[in-house]
Amino acid sequence: MKRRLLQHFLMSFIFLNPLLFAGASANSFTFLWTGNSTLNPANWSDPANWLNLDTEEVPTSLPADGDMLIDGAWTVYVTTSAITGSVQLSGGATLIINAGAILTTQEGGLDGSHGIRLDLMAGPIATGNYPGAAFSGQSASCTLVVRGTLNINVAAAANQRAPKAGWYINESNFGIVESTGKVNIIVAGTDGMEIAGILNNNGNITITDPEDSGIQINSGGEITIGASGNLTVSGGAECLNFRSNSMMTNNGTVQLSGASTGTIIKAGSPWNFFNNKNFRGSGLVERAKFFVHGPGSALMPGPSTGCLTFENGTSSVSLSGVTLYIQANGNTACTGYDQIIFSGSEDVGIAGAELQLTIGADYAPNGIITILEASAGVVSGTFNSVTVNNSSYTVDYNASAVSFSADGLTDTRSVALAGKNKWALYPALARDVVTVEWQEGFAGSFAIDVFNLSGQNVCHREAPAQTPVLEIPVRHLPPGMYWVAIRHNGVVETKRFVKE
């Protein structure tokens, strides 16, 4: 960043010091928020709200590589589309990206060279380099609210992107991504995000190919993924790096893959991951005794097919209330079918768990696939229910392994899924509704569920005994193939249709 210092002295220093060329924003102007516009006093894009600290002038336009500093108890709105170099909030500032608006950062600047930084106080930038500027000088929590789209590190050249974490949230500061919000972070010099404060995500956060971690959660850092929230991290040395006394609560969907070390969660001790919904990953979860499998949660190896490994050490594991989503396309673990591995010395219990098994269209099952493995312990118990997308096969299991055959086996824990009741599902190509019709109704009440090809339950219906016909509305579903599963007295039968 340009500084109005002893320019003649610095010219020779700059040319002789190659380290200065490493900064992403070495030639960028710095702008301080003043809110002085009489037309739009809270609008980011109105140049009259900013002061160019390098020229001490109010700009007529905002450059695409500017380093923007909002310091003090301001509330600023991005209402359309804006491109800049970097952003720093301090001293109690709030920045809101409205729904439909887009804020894009292209490089790093200000303190620490992050793409976006949330801090309590303005740092060294306010200590004399700009003597005429009015900095707040106060320490107060800052908040960034994303209702629209936030793109971080989108410079065409990698060496122009933020050399440190794309989005840094220091302690006592807040990041909020609402249900309409999207955050995209591409290659960062270190971590995609670094969090010592609090992040609440009800929208979509996607982090791609950071140099180090997708997200580093420092001591005291806390992340909550809401019911509508999605967090997707691909690449990096590890996807998530939990330092001691950090935590994440997942009530939505977390997807982790592509870690170069094979570790999708690197963890200190203690740390906490409370999984209450969907966790998908391929790789190793360290110190998994701090990974809590909540009732109603789901484990999904992959992107399918893949292996998900929990390093549970000397802690036993109960999967009661957990649904396991397994894709089978062949007979080889991790490449042919999904597998969940517990690498510790203690037992794994599946009592109260559910199995959702999807057989690939080009796979003719035979023999046994081991979907659960305890390296030194024992997998024991009985699934509460087993659902398979292909009723042509009988599926049996003995806790850890699943076998396929044309005839029911005699194991007392086996679940036979061959057709038991004659029923029809029509039309095969549906637009508004599909109809389920029975030749003979079930003697007791029964449940009907509709699943998409990702194994997600998109509709659930309870039906009373002797129901002859039931219509299921599908107008709201995206186009694609779906499976209708009927569960009655521990038996599950399935048929499929296509939503046009």
Tokens representing 145 are 């609210």
Note the pLDDT of residue 393. 67
**What are the residues facing 180 on neighbouring strands?**
none
3-state SS assignment for residue 18: helix
Residue 391 confidence (pLDDT) above 70: no
Which of the four pLDDT bands, split at 50, 70 and 90, describes residue 193?
very high
* Neighbour tally for 137: CB within 10 Å: 11
| Least confidently predicted of 201-205, 302-306, 405-409, 480-484 | 405-409
Closest alpha carbon to 265 in 299, 241, 231, 232: 241
3-state SS assignment for residue 110: coil
Place of tokens 């997942």: 250
Residue 116 — φ and ψ, nearest 5°? Answer: -135, 135
Residue 490 confidence (pLDDT) above 90: no
Determine if the peptide bond prior to 464 is cis (ω within 30°): no
Residue 122 confidence (pLDDT) above 50: yes
Note the pLDDT of residue 267. 95
Residues 197-201, mean pLDDT to the nearest whole number: 98
Place of tokens 């609008």: 43
Note the pLDDT of residue 400. 58
**Distance between CA 436 and CA 456 in Å, rounded?**
20
Taking the CA atoms of the chain, what radius of gyration do you get in angstroms? 27
Residue 337 confidence (pLDDT) above 50: yes
**Distance between CA 232 and CA 214 in Å, rounded?**
9
Residue 112 confidence (pLDDT) above 80: no
In what helix (H) or strand (E) does residue 339 lie, and over which residues does it extend?
strand 339-342
**Distance between CA 462 and CA 448 in Å, rounded?**
6
Note the pLDDT of residue 318. 94
Mean pLDDT of the chain: 83
3-state SS assignment for residue 105: strand
Q: Give the largest CA-CA distance in the chain.
A: 94
Q: Give pLDDT tens digits for 427-449.
A: 878 888 888 887 666 666 778 88
| CB distance 227 to 277 below 8 Å | yes
Which of the four pLDDT bands, split at 50, 70 and 90, describes residue 28?
confident
Residues 95-100, mean pLDDT to the nearest whole number: 98
**Distance between CA 202 and CA 343 in Å, rounded?**
33
**Distance between CA 278 and CA 300 in Å, rounded?**
7
Note the pLDDT of residue 200. 98
Note the pLDDT of residue 1. 37
Which position has the higher pLDDT, 441 or 179? 179
Which of the four pLDDT bands, split at 50, 70 and 90, describes residue 296?
very high
Helical residues (DSSP H) of 136-226, grouped into ranges: none
Note the pLDDT of residue 413. 25
| Least confidently predicted of 185-199, 220-234, 408-422, 447-461 | 408-422
Note the pLDDT of residue 238. 96
**Distance between CA 421 and CA 305 in Å, rounded?**
32
Which position has the higher pLDDT, 263 or 497? 263
